[in-house]
Amino acid sequence: MKLNFLTKGLDQPDFVARAVATVSIAAAAIMLGLLFWRLSEFLPIVFATIVIAVAWRGAAESFGARFGIPTGLSILTVALALVVGVVVTLMAFGGQLVRQYDEVALDVPAAIELIQRHVEEHPWGRFVEKFVLDVDYSKAAAPIAQHVGAALGSLGNAFAMTLFAIIGAAYLAADPKGHAERVVALTPAHHREKVSRFLQRSGGSLRQWLILQLYVIVMNAFFAGVALWAFGVPAPLALATISGALAFIPYFGSIIALVVGALVALPHGVDSAALAALSIGAASFVEGYLITPFLQSRSLSVPAVVLLFCMLAFGALFGAMGVVLAVPATVVLSVAYEVFAETQKA
């Protein structure tokens, strides 16, 4: 009798339906997890394509609205203007940039060797090497050369992925509404309104963030370049472009730029290295604590602690590409959370 009481619900159709649904959801989750793991190197490229498409479409819409040009023609015009701008910049500063980047490539290994030599000559350096770390600093140059060679060897793959992202972004920018409708059509009917709202909001938030980052990169490069040039630091143009590009990555980017600048200037003297670090650090301070907060107050802001942990998480999942794309991904996740919270309240 007791056994019948416990098992009488097993013959009911609704119990079977729930069991089948649970197993199906679990199987789908496992399959998605395996797919996510297999495509871990490909997913950042897809997201980068989406970010490029959002920026491209936003610039085209602004240009078209200002001059009364159809969207398709404005997309092509923006692409041509970007190509012309890059070509003109390279014609004007290309030779100087190449020379300064060559200087950077020579000075960084020289600075590392100089630091190694001073560490080995200092009594504390020999103590740490022998009794604490058990590391031979004299053998540290070989791994550096290997890493440089590996980086050069991956340039071809990076170029191919960049080309793929640009081509994919062109398709997305040409018809964002059509692609969004296809994504919505793939979702269950009772979730389509939420997905549509999420896609619309995330596109607008990404566009705002990209405009903010454009100002950040330009301002950081400008302030760093002026300070480096005024202090007579070697390769000021190359270091300014490096500092501006790394400003795309909050927190870590400024630290990397400061270290690179100090290493480049170190073979020319400790004073030069200190001035390089001071120039890049001051530019990052002005950009990070004065300009960026002002711009964020007029657009959007992600809590710093959330951003920091997301950068660490995406870096662990996707490597360097994950760190670069962590901020826009966090913006998209914050929009998804807002849509979910609104749905729960409703």
Instruction: Using a pLDDT cut of 90, give the percent of the chain over it.
Output: 12
- Per-domain residue ranges of the chain: 96-153+187-345
Specify burial of residue 166 (Cβ count, 10 A radius: 0-12, 13-18, 19+): middle
Q: What pLDDT was estimated at residue 142? A: 45
The C-alpha atoms of residue 109 and residue 99 are separated, in whole angstroms, by: 16
Q: What pLDDT was estimated at residue 117? A: 76
Q: What pLDDT was estimated at residue 5? A: 46
Q: Which residue has the higher pLDDT, 84 or 346?
A: 84
pLDDT tens digit string along 212-264? 888 888 989 999 999 999 999 888 999 999 999 888 887 788 888 888 899 88
Retrieve residue 40's tokens: 């871990």
| Sign of the C-alpha dihedral computed for residues 234, 273, 277 and 326 taken in this order | positive
Closest listed residue to residue 28, CA positions, set 199, 188, 194 = 188
The C-alpha atoms of residue 77 and residue 59 are separated, in whole angstroms, by: 10
Which letter does DSSP use for residue 188 in this model?
-
pLDDT tens digit string along 270-326? 899 999 999 999 988 887 777 776 666 555 666 777 878 888 888 888 887 888 888
Q: What pLDDT was estimated at residue 118? A: 73
Distances (CA, A) of 324 to 253, 305, 319, 328: 9, 17, 9, 9
Q: What is the mean pLDDT of the chain?
A: 79
Q: What pLDDT was estimated at residue 212? A: 85
Q: What pLDDT was estimated at residue 141? A: 42
CA angle 57, 58, 61 (to 5 degrees): 85
3-state secondary structure of 247: coil
Q: What pLDDT was estimated at residue 325? A: 87
Question: Which DSSP string corresponds to 301-321?
Answer: ---HHHHHHHHHHHHHHHTHH
Q: What is the mean predicted confidence (pLDDT) over 68-88? A: 89
pLDDT band at 36 (very low <50, low <70, confident <90, very high): low
Most confident listed range (144-148, 192-196, 315-319): 192-196
Contact (CB, 8 A) for 180 and 196: yes
Q: What pLDDT was estimated at residue 80? A: 93
Q: What pLDDT was estimated at residue 84? A: 93
pLDDT of residue 267 exceeding 80: yes
Q: What is the pTM of this model?
A: 0.75
Most confident listed range (27-31, 117-121, 238-242, 335-339): 238-242
pLDDT band at 127 (very low <50, low <70, confident <90, very high): low
13-17, 18-22, 97-101, 256-260: the lowest-pLDDT one: 13-17
pLDDT band at 144 (very low <50, low <70, confident <90, very high): very low
